[in-house]
Amino acid sequence: MLRFRQSCSRPETLFKRFASSSFENPEIFRSTALVNGKWVSGDDQFPVINPSTSEEVSTVTNCGVAEYNEAIGDAHKAFKMFKNTSPRERSQILYNMYDLMSEHKNDLARLITMENGKTFADSLAEIDYSASYFKWFAEEAPRIYGHVIPSSSSLRKQIITLRQPLGVVGIMAPWNFPSAMIARKLAPVIATGNACVIKPPHESPMSALALGWLAEQAGLSDGVCNVLPTTHTAAIGEYICCHDLVRKITFTGSTKVGKLLMKQCANGNIIKRLSMELGGNAPFIVFDDADIEKAVNGLISCKFRQSGQTCICANRIFVHESIYSDFASRLVAVIESGFHLGDGFSPKVTHGPLINERAVQKVSELVEDAKNKGANVLTGGVRASSLGPQFYHPTVLSGVDETMSIFHTEVFGPVASLISFKTTEEVIERANKTNVGLAGYFYSSNIQTVLDVANELEVGMVGVNGSAISDAAMPFGGIKNSGLGREGSSWGVEDYTDLKSIVLGA
Ligand code: SIN
- Percent composition of the chain: helix, strand, coil (DSSP 3-state, to 5): 40, 20, 35
Q: pLDDT-derived band of residue 21, with 50, 70 and 90 as boundaries?
A: low
> What pLDDT score was predicted for residue 3?
44
**Which of 56, 65, 68, 69 has the alpha carbon at shortest distance from 14?**
56
Q: What is the pLDDT of residues 408-457, one digit of tens each?
A: 999 999 999 999 999 999 999 999 999 999 999 999 999 999 999 999 99
If one counts the domains in the chain, the total is 2
**Is the distance from CB of 390 to CB of 353 less than 8 angstroms?**
yes
- Mean pLDDT for the chain overall: 95
Annotated catalytic residues are 277
Residue-number span of the structural domain to which 165 is assigned: 74-278+483-501
Task: Kindly state whether residue 424 falls inside one of the protein's structural domains.
Answer: yes
Q: What number is the average pLDDT over the span 473-480?
A: 98
Looking at the CA of residue 176, tell me the nearest atom of ligand 1.
Answer: 2
Q: Whose CA is nearest to atom 7 of ligand 1?
A: 470
The CATH number covering residue 299 comes to: 3.40.309.10
**How many A from CA of 319 to the centre of ligand 1?**
24
**How many A from CA of 174 to the centre of ligand 1?**
10
DSSP assignment of 94-116 equals HHHHHHHHHHTHHHHHHHHHHHH
- Percentage, residues of the chain above pLDDT 90: 95
Q: Whose CA is nearest to atom 6 of ligand 1?
A: 470
Vertex 412 angle, CA 231 and 180, to 5°: 60
> What pLDDT score was predicted for residue 427?
98
Residue 250 clears pLDDT 80, i.e. is over it: yes
Q: What is the pLDDT of residues 196-242, one digit of tens each?
A: 999 999 999 999 999 999 999 999 999 999 999 999 999 999 999 99
Task: Kindly state whether residue 112 falls inside one of the protein's structural domains.
Answer: yes
Residue 42 clears pLDDT 90, i.e. is over it: no
> What pLDDT score was predicted for residue 5?
44
One domain for residues 401 and 491 = no
Q: pLDDT-derived band of residue 335, with 50, 70 and 90 as boundaries?
A: very high
> What pLDDT score was predicted for residue 20?
37
One domain for residues 342 and 233 = no
Determine the distance from the C-alpha atom of residue 162 to the mean position of all C-alpha atoms in its chain, rounded to a whole number: 29
Pocket of ligand 1 (CB under 6 A): 176-177, 252, 277, 310-312, 470
One domain for residues 148 and 233 = yes
Looking at the CA of residue 180, tell me the nearest atom of ligand 1.
Answer: 7
Q: What is the pLDDT of residues 351-384, one digit of tens each?
A: 999 999 999 999 999 999 999 999 999 999 999 9
As a whole number of Å, the CA-based R_g of the chain is 23
One domain for residues 300 and 425 = yes
Task: Kindly state whether residue 23 falls inside one of the protein's structural domains.
Answer: no
One domain for residues 234 and 354 = no
Residue 15 clears pLDDT 50, i.e. is over it: no
Q: Whose CA is nearest to atom 8 of ligand 1?
A: 470
Looking at the CA of residue 310, tell me the nearest atom of ligand 1.
Answer: 2
Q: Whose CA is nearest to atom 5 of ligand 1?
A: 310
Residue 18 clears pLDDT 70, i.e. is over it: no
Amino acid at 454: A
**How many A from CA of 476 to the centre of ligand 1?**
9
Residue 172 clears pLDDT 90, i.e. is over it: yes
Q: What number is the average pLDDT over the span 46-65?
A: 97
* Residue to mutate (ligand 1; options 309, 470, 489; most atoms within 8 A of CB): 470
Q: pLDDT-derived band of residue 466, with 50, 70 and 90 as boundaries?
A: very high
> What pLDDT score was predicted for residue 197?
98
Q: What is the pLDDT of residues 454-465, one digit of tens each?
A: 999 999 999 999
One domain for residues 439 and 376 = yes
- Can you list the positions of beta strands (E) in 201-281? 225-227, 246-252, 273-277
Looking at the CA of residue 184, tell me the nearest atom of ligand 1.
Answer: 7
Q: What is the pTM of this model?
A: 0.95
The CATH number covering residue 233 comes to: 3.40.605.10
One domain for residues 318 and 392 = yes
Residue 6 clears pLDDT 70, i.e. is over it: no
- Give the span between the Cα atoms of 51 and 46, in whole angstroms: 15
One domain for residues 245 and 391 = no
Q: What is the pLDDT of residues 287-328, one digit of tens each?
A: 999 999 999 999 999 999 999 999 999 999 999 999 999 999
**Which of 167, 169, 147, 166 has the alpha carbon at shortest distance from 158?**
147
**How many A from CA of 181 to the centre of ligand 1?**
7
One domain for residues 148 and 251 = yes
**How many A from CA of 496 to the centre of ligand 1?**
19
**How many A from CA of 238 to the centre of ligand 1?**
24
Residue 491 clears pLDDT 70, i.e. is over it: yes
> What pLDDT score was predicted for residue 235?
98
One domain for residues 308 and 446 = yes
One domain for residues 198 and 299 = no
**Which of 339, 324, 311 has the alpha carbon at shortest distance from 285?**
324
